[in-house]
Structure 1
Amino acid sequence: MLTRLAIRDIVLIEALDLDFAPGLGALTGETGAGKSILLDALGLVLGQRADSGLVRHGAAQGVVTASFEPGDDAGIAALLAEHGLEGEPGEPLLIRRIVKADGGSRASINDQPASAALLRELGGRLVEIHGQHDDRGLLNPRGHRALLDAFARTPLAPLAEAYAAWRRAEAVLAEARAELETAARDREWLEHAVGELATLAPEPGEEESLAAERATMQKGARLAEDLAGVIAHLDGSDGALAALRQAARRLDRVAAEQDDLAAALAALDRAVIEASEAEEALARAGEALAFDPARLDRIETRLFDLRGLARKHRVQPDGLAALHEELAARLARLTAGSAGLAALERARDAARDAYCTQAEAVSAIRAAAAERLDAAVAGELAPLKLDAARIRTGLEQLGEASWGPEGWDRVEFLVSTNPGAPFAPLAKIASGGELSRFILALKVALAEQAGARTMVFDEIDRGVGGAVASAIGERLARLAAQAQLLVVTHSPQVAARADRHFLIAKSHDGLVTRTGVRALDAGDRAEEIARMLSGAEITDEARAQARRLIAVA
């Protein structure tokens, strides 16, 4: 919903700030007062082309700032995120567009730089401007299918799932065909590589495990060598233990003749015992460190082979097992040949058939909804002075290349303005007034599927009056109950239906002409509607009629 529009130095507007609210807002004023300037200013923040001619004479630049409350439209936050801008669902949007008098423009969204293309895409979600020159909203057939689906509440999720499954099957088949062609060219190399890997039979984690075992063995070899040197000092006829024992025997003979040597003999005996225990412990440790040299040789050879083959295939040693499986699978598919492709083709065809079944069901739902929508719109045409016109929701099955997750239907709203006249696209209608009234009829029929939260109708009542203008006002009021509407109007019957009324007027100070806009209170509103009824001279009868119109509305 548009909440505020601030305009600086655009055409005849020097400075203008307007606040908007939900419901129906009417913009009125004499011909030439500058109503189109407001639409041009709004168009700038919605991404329309920035023409330097819009800058007020004498100003360096023109600026338009619009504030929106997007509601819970998560798509807007996703769109901003896609373009690298910050924004949360439901967060207010401040869009600013600056146009320079010497050419060029820049834009921002919530004070973050943005492109005009993003403004156009975002604007399409926020505002629809309906008029004879508008090429968006209901005039763009690209959005007609979505409007019909919203009206029909078409269940599109199963169709999208079926489409995704079909495309996955297509991708798998295409990949298999490409692999088969590539593998056929490289069959000799593939057979050699698979045979070489099969002979080596690498296992995941094997290289790390073997390297750790080899490191342990090498460390044990160094420790065993050191222990052997220690044992050599203790063991043997010339070792320390033999010397201790010989000394103990000699001391034993001497101690028998000398009483005070008993303590020394006891200490020497303990040394012999402890040295013997040390020798036994060293022997056990040496046995624990013993390894099979042949096993070490086998490990080193295995590591050499693993690492060499890994370098050859440009993978890590731990990746050899997975590479073996991958190349073996490619060789198996090559060997299976056409039989494997046939199975994939059958799976693809089955997925396509499933998609077609879903697409046919969706088409049937759309066809039934199109009839209901056509009938609903037809009921709105006569009160809008379009009783000779007919509308048809055209459904056309597209070629397979254009099928997608939303089906195979092209949907377009077609109109015949006179009996016997052929149906033509809505955008081809010659009369701008008729076009706006057709759009209004469609919008009323679509009701909750109105689209953007803010709609602008530019002179929808052109060329009509009386009962038709009243019918237009009544339908605009109904639409305004579900979306914010702004209508540029010359019809008092339409203006009387408005929840808020804005008067657009020109003023002259002898040197400069300016356009201004002000919100009318109840008294001023009645006076403006009286002017619309009577023309230049406002009569008491016109004032009374204006009050009656407001009271009835």
Structure 2
Amino acid sequence: MLRQLVIRDVVLIDRLTLDFGDGLGVLTGETGAGKSILLDSLGLALGMRADSGLVRAAQDAAAVTAAFELGPDHPAVPLLDAAGVEQEAGEPLLFRRTLKADGGSRAFLGGAPVPASTLREVGASLVEIHGQHDDRGLLNPKGHRGLLDSFGKVRTDAVQRAWTRLTDLRQELDQLRRSQEDADRDRDFLEHSVEELRKLRPEEGEEEALAEKRAAMKQFARITDDLDGLQELFTGSEGGLSQLRQAARRLERVGDAHPLLAEALAALDRAIIDASEAEDKVERARTELDFSPDDLEAAEARLFELRGIARKHRVEPDQLRHLLIQMEEALESAAGGSARIAELERSLDVAEADYHAAAAALTEARQAAAARLDAAVAAELAPLKLEAARFRTVVSPGEPGPAGADRVEFEVSTNPGAPFGALIKIASGGELSRFILALKVALAEEGGASTMIFDEIDRGVGGAVASAIGDRLARLATRSQLLVVTHSPQVAARARHHYRIEKSHGADGTRTTVRLLSADERREEIARMLSGAEVTEEARAQAARLLETV
């Protein structure tokens, strides 16, 4: 709730600090004293439009700070978290707004700079301001459904679950249908590609092996003449190995003639063995490297086919096997997609029926709650001098969603036979404030903002009606903090805290001040409200009686 308001250089206020307590507080004063300045100042702190006309004359800037007390479970807490505003437990939450004479403004929340929109969003969870020209709170049809649900303790859990199931199925079905359309559109291509790849039978690593084999065969083709020449040198009649063997046979015949000849024969034997081994290896190499032109042509054709199909599908040749598996799975999925779509469509039909059944039950609950709310508001209208008026809660078909398929709007008729219409369009200024009060009283158990401000809710009424207004405001104040700008002594007498707004004129200009009244000062102020400019003893006595009866 609002604990303090600090105002600097706003219109007629130069320096003002106001502390607020729990329950009902009233602000009174003569017409023109500056009551609207207080509301404009609070509105500025809460992020309302910054009008440079609020800056006090001859000053460069104005500033307003509002301090609020809120508990750990207050609806404003998640809003602060979302805005990145850190709030110390037990410390007041500070709204601060500065406004320059040239129109520039800055906003701060909890000491941190924020957009003015953040002040408005968080402030709306803390304060409701109801005035003759108020277009928020109870006057906004967007919030009427939530208010009705709170009043009637209407549960929306079943509808929310049914809506979640319904939307999940719709999304899954839409996605599957798109996939099926893509699959059907690509079916011919997939079938042709799968047939082509199955016929090709690509293997991982095949392209590298073929490239190596092809390179080896091409290399063998280049060294064939050299190998043939080597074979001739080894095996021909004039080949080296043949001549070594002839030389060895001759040395065998003369080897006994001298020791050196025997050694020469042994060397020749070793050379023949080594040469024979070399001949065998050359022959084996030729055998292993030998290929036919058909082999090279087949390897090249296979390699080019692998690479060509890989380029066609924009993958590496080693990925063709995996691509075939993917395409086979896509074809299989497409084949089973129709069956899955049919299954989902049946589930969707059931989910839609479940949702409509839950939404219909919710509509019935809302209609029952609407009847109770209409009766509760009607009971408040006559004491507020609105006995000719009628109030109704209209539950009509709306856009289906997680909170049902209902549109809820509060409507009034202010005269017998007059058509119903929206509150803000039908009710006059004074009637509007009293309708809001009647609604607030009817909805009181469901709470709302922790601080409510009513601006001249008693305009144009007096006597018993003013007493009824004061009684209802006092009842509301047992659950929330209420600040009321009033001209009614009956309302002022019900307050726990009474502030007087005064305007003074001096050499340095006109100033507006606000002060909390003592008990004696309260009686004097209420007497002034009863009697006018001249306070009589009779008025003081009547003021005392008013204070005693509350």
TM-score, normalising length from structure 2?
Answer: 0.76
Q: Which residue of 2 aligns with 1:140?
A: 140
TM-score (norm 1): 0.75
**Cα–Cα, structure 1 residues 89 and 417, in superposed 2: closer, same or farther, change >3 Å?**
farther
State the AA in 2 paired with 1:52. S
Residues 341, 59 of structure 1: alpha-carbon distance in 2 compared, 3 angstrom cutoff: same
Q: Partners of 1:355 and 1:148 in 2: how far apart?
A: 21
Between the aligned partners of 1:195 and 1:454, the Cα distance in structure 2 is 75
Contact 1:333 1:340 in 2 (8 A): no
Q: CA deviation at 1:90?
A: 7.3
Aligned to 2:117: 117
Q: Which amino acid aligns with 2:492?
A: A
* 1:48-447 mapped onto 2 (5 Å cutoff): 48-87=48-87, 92-191=92-191, 330-398=330-398, 402-447=399-444
Bigger radius of gyration: 2
1:456·1:487 contact (CA, 8 Å) conserved in 2? yes
Q: Could you tell me which residue of structure 2 aligns to residue 479 of structure 1?
A: 476
Q: How many Å separate the matches in 1 of 2:198 and 2:165?
A: 36
1:530 aligns with 2:531: no
1:264 corresponds to which residue?
none
Q: Provide the residue aligned with 1:502 in structure 2.
A: 499
Percent identical residues: 60
**Equivalent residues of 1:54, 1:62 under 8 A apart:** yes
The question of whether the paired residues in 2 share the 8 Å contact of 1:389 and 1:415 is answered with: yes
Seen in structure 2, the aligned counterparts of structure 1 residues 158 and 327 have a Cα distance that, compared at 3 Å, is farther
Q: Distance in 1 between matches of 2:341 and 2:468?
A: 65
- Whether the 8 Å contact between 1:77 and 1:89 is mirrored in structure 2 is no
Asked if 1:551 corresponds to 2:548, the answer is yes
Q: Let me know the Cα RMSD of the aligned residues.
A: 3.0
Shift of 1:451: 1.1
Q: Structure 1, residues 231-287: CA drift from partner, whole Å, max 9, x if none?
A: xxxxxxxxxxxxxxxxxxxxxxxxxxxxxxxxxxxxxxxxxxxxxxxxxxxxxxxxx
- Distance change >3 Å, CA 314–CA 133, structure 1 → 2: farther
Kindly provide the CA deviation profile for residues 113-148 of structure 1, in whole angstroms up to 9, marking residues without a partner as x.
111212221121111111111111101111110000
- Kept in 2, the 8 Å contact 1:76–1:89? The answer is no
Q: 1:442 to 1:72 in 2, by over 3 A?
A: farther
- In the TM superposition, what is the alpha-carbon distance from 1:331 to its structure 2 partner? 2.7
Secondary structure of 1:186's match? helix
- Counterparts of 2:198 and 2:326, CA distance in 1: 12
**Contact 1:477 1:497 survives alignment (8 Å):** yes
Sort the Cα spacing of 1:183 and 1:530 in 2 relative to 1 into closer, same or farther, 3 A.
Answer: same
Q: How far apart are 1:85 and its partner, in Å?
A: 2.8
| One-letter identity of the residue aligned with 2:544 | R
Matched to 1:65, the amino acid is T
Counterparts of 1:536 and 1:461, CA distance in 2: 20
Aligned letter for 1:152? G
Contact 2:25 2:484 in 1 (8 A): yes
Give the aligned partner of residue 493 of structure 1: 490
Is it true that 1:455 corresponds to 2:446 in the alignment?
Answer: no
Report if the CA contact (8 A) 1:27-1:504 is conserved.
yes
Q: Counterparts of 2:325 and 2:5 in 1: how far apart (Å)?
A: 65
Structure 1 residue 340 displacement after superposition: 3.2
Residues 407-437 of structure 1: CA distance to partner in whole angstroms, max 9, x if unpaired?
1111111000011111111111342111011
Give the residue type in structure 1 aligned to 2:173. L
| Offset from partner CA, 1:481-501 (integer Å, 9 cap, x none) | 001100000000000000100
Structure 1 residue 88, shift from structure 2 partner: 7.0
| 2:466 match | 469
Deviates more, 1:427-436 or 1:180-189: 180-189
- Which 5+ residue runs of structure 1 have no aligned equivalent? 208-304
What count of residue pairs does the alignment treat as equivalent? 449
Q: Distance in 2 between matches of 1:327 and 1:313?
A: 14
Aligned-partner Cα distance in 2 for 1:44–1:349? 52
CA distance in 2, matches of 1:2, 1:196: 78
Question: Which residue of structure 2 aligns with residue 542 of structure 1?
Answer: 539
> Per-residue deviation at 1:336?
3.5
Q: Are the aligned partners of 1:179 and 1:330 in contact in 2 as well (CA < 8 Å)?
A: no
How far the C-alpha of 1:91 sits from its partner, in A, is 6.0
